[in-house]
Amino acid sequence: MTTFHTLIRDVPDFPKPGVVFKDIGPLLADPAGFAACIDALVAQWHGTAVDAVCGIESRGFIFGAAMAQAMKTGFVPLRKVGKLPPPTLGIDYDLEYGSARLEIGAEGFAPGTRVLLVDDVLATGGTFDAARRLLEQAGATVVGAGVVIEIDALRGRTRWPGAIPMHALLHC
């Protein structure tokens, strides 16, 4: 099996001094590595009923869409403000360096729709928390979350409800 974690490159001092950016570009460019990563993400949810995979813009789209295909289910994007045609549902949230907004199509989900939330990195947890709240506002039941990388020192998992499983493939 390809060790996909070796394909993630550390970029020191990007986007600002003191930050070590996790570059997934080499992982995405390697067919065997990317396939192994998707297989590992999907394996975490074997036996869990999932009606849709929801990916957070933008890199969550890459992993979420591939997971949805592998899981034979739909994919629903959570977009940055102004990227979806109206009507939309949205949620504003704070980041460590400002504020942001996530949106989803206002058609929402049928009652009981079970969704899995996916992104590339869990850092401080603000985006994941907002995404979960937006999905619940849209009528979905969030059954879990998955990330490729969790930056443990930033303690983002503390913002995630303990009753909803979250799996990370790599811990930094």
Give the residue carrying structure tokens 């890199």: 59
Q: Which of 57, 59, 136, 157 is catalytic?
A: 59
Question: Distance (Å, rounded) from C-alpha 139 to C-alpha 135?
Answer: 6
| Plot region of 70 (φ>0 → left; ψ -120 to 50 → alpha; else → beta) | alpha
Beta strands, E only, 24-161: 52-56, 74-80, 88-95, 98-105, 114-122, 141-150
Which helix (H) or strand (E) covers residue 67, if one does?
Answer: helix 59-71
Question: Distance (Å, rounded) from C-alpha 148 to C-alpha 30?
Answer: 15
User: Is the link from the previous residue into 85 a cis peptide, with omega within 30 of 0?
Assistant: no
Q: Which of 9, 57, 79, 96 is catalytic?
A: 96
Active site residue 133: no
Active site residue 96: yes
Do 109 and 52 form a contact (C-beta atoms < 8 A)?
Answer: yes
Residues classed as catalytic = 59, 96
